[in-house]
Amino acid sequence: MVLRPAPEDFKIIFFNTGRVVVGLAYLMFLPLITAVAFMEWAVAVDFALSIGVTLTIGYLFLLIFHTDRDPQWVHGMSTAAFSWLVCTLVGAIPYCLSGHFASFLDACFDVMSGYTTTGLVLIQNLDHVSYGLNMWRHELTYIGGQGMVVVALTFLVPGFSGAYKMYVGEGKDEKLLPNVIETARAIWLISIVYLCIGTFWLWVGGLIEGLTPLRAFFHALWLYMAAWSTGGFAPQTQNTMYYHSPLIEVFYFIFMVIGSLNFALHYSVWKGNYREVYRNIELRSFAVTASCAFTIACVALTVSNAFPDLLSTFRFTLFHVISAHTTTGGMSVYARQFITHWGPMATIGVILAMAVGGSACSTAGGFKGIRIGIIGKALAQDIKKLVSAESAVVIQKYHHIKDVVLEDTTVRAAALIIFLYIITYSVATAVGAFYGYPMLDAMFDAVSAGSNSGLSCGITAPSMPSLLKVIYLLAMWVGRLEFNAVLVLLGLGYATITGK
Amino acid sequence: MLQLRENKYTMERLSRFISGSTGILPVIHRLEACATGFRGIMILAVTILAITSGKVYAQEPILASALIEKIREYDGKTVTFQGEAIGDLMHRRRGIWVNLLDGSGTALGVWLTPKQAQLIKTLGSYNYKGDVVQVTGVFNRACSEHQGEIDLHAASCRIVTPGEPIKHPVSLFRLQLALVVLLLAFLLIFIWKRYFKPKVEAKKF
C-alpha cells in the first residue's frame, strides 16, 4: 500500500525550495551590476524587475510554507529536483524580458541548459546580446556546475541538518569534509581559485589574438565559466570558432578537462596527494574511453580527408572529442559540419564520447567515468571467476580516493543508472526521429541533451518542434540530477494521487 | 575522374578570372593554347557548361548555411558573401579576422588584408549594428593556412550599408513594475526577518 504524503511533507519541500529561489535572486545582482557598469539601463531595469519577482516568490514560499522540521531523504531529494524546475521558471524572466527568445519555452530551455551545464541554446541574435545578459547566461552555467543547492548552502543558508540530503539530490555525494556546509565551501574555494587562474590565461590569450583588454577580460571570464562548468556557452554565435585561435582553444581545452574531474579528486590533489591522479579509477576510465572515441573519430576524418593535414585533423578531433567527453560542448566547427563534413563514423565517435561523459561529483554529465570503471572492473571480476577454481574467492578492488572492495550492490547501482541514461537517450532520439530528423542527427542531439554535453548537429534551433524542446529540456534535467532526485519527486507525485 | 579534375581546374581558373585575382590576358592565351587539341576543346566545353548551368558562385551573395550544407562542393571556390561585421577586428601578423553575420543568423570568419579591414568602421554589438560588408573570395572548408579552419579569404571587400547605433529605450512600465515588486519583496523580507527566520546552527552529516 502506498502512503499518501502528509501536507507537512510538501511544506518542507516548498519551504526549502523557497530558500534556493531566494539564493537565485541574490545571484541576479551580478548581471545587474554589470549592466549598470556598461550603462545598459534597459537591461538593468529588466534585472531589477527579475530580482523583485524572484525575491517575492522566494519569500512567499518561505512565509507560506514555513516549517521548523528538518528534511528527511525524500524531502531533500524532492527539493533538489523541484527547486531546479522552479528556478528554471524564474531564471527565465530576464531572458524573456531581453527579447532574444521566441517564446517563454525557449527561454526556459536555455535556462535549464545553463543550470545543467548542457550548452544547447535557442537564443536568437546572440552577437547583439548585452554584457548584463551575457553575464547572467554564464553565471547560470557556472552556478549550475557547482549546483544551485551548493550555492544556497554555501552563502545563503546558515545550515541545517537536511542540507546533505539536498546536496546528494543534486547529483553530488562526495564528502570532502565532515560537514556539508564546509564541503560546499571547499567546492567553491576550488572553483574560485581556478576562476582566477583560468580567466587570467584566457585574457592573455584574448589579448594576443587581437581583442581589446576590456573585451578580452569579459570573454575570458565567460569562456572560463563555460569551460570549467563544462557548460559550453559562449558570448558569440560561433562559440570558440569566433576567435580563430588555436591558443584560446588550448586554454579552453585545459580548463574543460580540469572542470570535468571529480571535486574529491581536486581536493585530494589540493591536499598534496598527487598519486591519486594516475591511480584514480575515473581518470583511468576517462583515458581509455577518450582514447577509443578519439581513435574512431580521427581515423574516420583521416580516411575521409576532411582536413588538409594531420595536425589540423588532430586539432579538431581532439578538441571536439574531449569537449564531448567532458560534456562541455565547446565547438570550433559549425553544428551542421558534423553531418556534412565529418561524416557518420566520426560523428559516432563524438556521440560515444558524449554518452560516457565526465566524472561523478564534477560539473560534467553522462554515464560518468566511475560507473564505466566499475562495470569494467565487474566484468574483469567475472572473467577471473570463470577461469579460477570453483572454490576460489575472487575479490576485485578499485581506487577512488581510497581502495574500495567492489560489491554487487555498487555494480547494480552503476548499471541501473547507465540503463536509465540509455533509456533517456533512446526516448529523446525516438522523438527526434518521429519528427522526421535522420536517425544519426536525432541521436546526436538527444545524447547531447541527456548527457548535458551541448554539442549539436543542427537540430536544436528555435524552429524545432515544441514537444522536442520539452523532451530535451526534461532530458537535461534528469541527466543532470542523475535520476534519483527526479524519481523521488515523481514517486511523491504518484503517492499523492494514488496513496491512502 | 579525369573529367572531374578538369572541371575543378576550369572552375578555379574561371573563379580567379571573375574575382580579378589574375589578369585576363594570361587566361585567354592559356585557353587559346589549349583549344588546339582535344583537351582544350573539353575544357572549353566544360567552361560553357559551367556558365550556362549557373555554377558561378561569385555573383550573388550566398548564405553561410548554404556553404556549410554543401561544404565539399564550395570548397576552394570563389564566392560572394555578405553580412554584418560583428564583435572584433582581430589583428594577426599576416592579416585580420572579422566575423560576418549573414541574414540567416550564421556568422562566417573572413580573412582580410589590413587595407580591406580599414573599410570597416562599425562592429556589431549590443549598442551598434555593424557595417554590412560584402566580400568576394575563396571559401575553404578546411584552410591549410589557418590550421584547418573553415574560412573565407577575401579578394575584394566593400561596405554595403554603414553601421549605426541601436537605441534601447528604458520601458517606463517595466521601471514602475520593478519598483513595485521590489517594495513588495522588501516588505516580505522584513516580515521574514522579524517574525519567522529560524535560528539554526550548522550540523554534522
Distance from CA of B36 to the nearest CA of A (A): 35
Distance from CA of A377 to the nearest CA of B (A): 30
Q: Is B168 touching A (CB cutoff 8 A)?
A: yes
- Residue A39 CA to residue A56 CA, distance in Å, equals 26
pLDDT digits (tens, 9 = 90+) for A326-338: 999 999 999 999 9
**Closest in B70, B87, B175 to A45, CB measured:** B175
* Portion 73-112 of A in contact with B at CB < 8 A: 97
Q: Is B152 touching A (CB cutoff 8 A)?
A: no
DSSP conformational letter for A69: P
Could you tell me if A57 and A72 are in contact, meaning their C-beta atoms sit under 8 angstroms apart?
no
**Closest in A129, A159, A215 to B202, CB measured:** A159
- Residue A336 CA to residue B176 CA, distance in Å, equals 45
* Whole-Å CA distances, B30 to A279, A485, B16, B33: 67, 73, 14, 5
Q: Please judge whether A45 and B178 are an interchain contact, meaning their C-beta atoms are less than 8 angstroms apart.
A: yes
How many helices, marked H, and strands, marked E, lie in chain B? 7, 8
- Residue A479 CA to residue A424 CA, distance in Å, equals 8
Q: Please judge whether B124 and A159 are an interchain contact, meaning their C-beta atoms are less than 8 angstroms apart.
A: no
Q: Please judge whether B188 and A63 are an interchain contact, meaning their C-beta atoms are less than 8 angstroms apart.
A: yes
Instruction: Tell me if the pTM is above 0.90.
Output: no
Picking from A11, A21, A56, A154 by the largest number of B CB atoms within 10 A of its own CB, the best residue to mutate is A56
| Bridge partner list, B111 | B97, B153
- Residue A179 CA to residue A203 CA, distance in Å, equals 36
Q: How much is the mean pLDDT over chain A?
A: 90
* Portion 56-75 of B in contact with A at CB < 8 A: 64-65, 68-72
pLDDT digits (tens, 9 = 90+) for A386-436: 998 888 888 888 888 888 888 899 999 999 999 999 999 999 999 999 999
Which residues in chain A touch residue B125, judged by CB atoms under 8 angstroms apart? 127-128
Which residues in chain A touch residue B170, judged by CB atoms under 8 angstroms apart? 41-42, 45
Stretch (H or E) spanning A83: helix A73-98
ipTM of this complex: 0.87
Domain residue extents for chain B:
2-52, 61-165
pLDDT of res. A210: 93
**Closest in B65, B109, B124 to A128, CB measured:** B124
Q: Identify the sign of the CA torsion A77, A78, A84, A87.
A: negative
Q: With bands split at pLDDT 50, 70 and 90, how would you rate the model's confidence at A456?
A: very high
- Residue A232 CA to residue A113 CA, distance in Å, equals 10
- Distance in Å from the first CA to the final CA of chain A: 8
- Residue A21 CA to residue A247 CA, distance in Å, equals 39
- Residue A302 CA to residue A305 CA, distance in Å, equals 5
- Nearest Cα neighbor of A171 from A40, A43, A362, A15 is A362
**Closest in B99, B129, B182 to A52, CB measured:** B182
Picking from A128, A166, A185, A302 by the largest number of B CB atoms within 10 A of its own CB, the best residue to mutate is A128
Q: Please judge whether A332 and B149 are an interchain contact, meaning their C-beta atoms are less than 8 angstroms apart.
A: yes
pLDDT of res. B57: 56
- Residue B11 CA to residue B56 CA, distance in Å, equals 8
pLDDT of res. A29: 96
Strands B128-129 and B78-91: unpaired
pLDDT digits (tens, 9 = 90+) for A160-191: 556 666 666 666 666 666 666 777 777 778 88
Q: Identify the sign of the CA torsion A479, A485, A490, A491.
A: positive
- Residue B110 CA to residue B105 CA, distance in Å, equals 16
pLDDT digits (tens, 9 = 90+) for A48-80: 999 999 999 999 999 999 988 888 888 888 888
DSSP conformational letter for A399: E
Which residues in chain B touch residue A209, judged by CB atoms under 8 angstroms apart? 90, 92
- Residue A83 CA to residue A16 CA, distance in Å, equals 8
Could you tell me if A472 and A435 are in contact, meaning their C-beta atoms sit under 8 angstroms apart?
no
Q: How many Cα atoms within 13 Å fall on the side-chain side of residue A314?
A: 5
Picking from B89, B96, B100, B126 by the largest number of A CB atoms within 10 A of its own CB, the best residue to mutate is B126
pLDDT of res. A360: 81
Which residues in chain B touch residue A179, judged by CB atoms under 8 angstroms apart? 202-205
pLDDT of res. A295: 96
Could you tell me if B128 and B166 are in contact, meaning their C-beta atoms sit under 8 angstroms apart?
yes
CATH node for B61-165 = 2.40.50.140
Q: Is A355 touching B (CB cutoff 8 A)?
A: no
- Residue A248 CA to residue A54 CA, distance in Å, equals 36
pLDDT digits (tens, 9 = 90+) for A248-301: 999 999 999 988 888 888 888 888 888 888 888 889 999 999 999 999 999 999
For A45, the closest chain B residue by CA position comes to: B175
* Portion 402-461 of A in contact with B at CB < 8 A: none
DSSP conformational letter for A188: H
For A134, the closest chain B residue by CA position comes to: B126
Could you tell me if A260 and A363 are in contact, meaning their C-beta atoms sit under 8 angstroms apart?
yes
CB atoms within 10 A of CB A254: 15
- Residue A61 CA to residue B132 CA, distance in Å, equals 50
Could you tell me if A250 and A256 are in contact, meaning their C-beta atoms sit under 8 angstroms apart?
no
**Region for residue A454 given its phi and psi (left: phi exceeds 0; alpha: psi -120 to 50; beta: otherwise):** left
Burial of A60 (0-12, 13-18, 19+ CB in 10 A): middle
DSSP conformational letter for B196: I
Q: Is B104 touching A (CB cutoff 8 A)?
A: no
Q: Which three cell numbers stand for residue B6?
A: 578538369
Which residues in chain B touch residue A129, judged by CB atoms under 8 angstroms apart? 126
- Residue B137 CA to residue A65 CA, distance in Å, equals 65
Which residues are CB-contacts of A22 (< 8 A; sequence separation ≥ 6)? A54, A55, A58, A59, A62, A152, A156
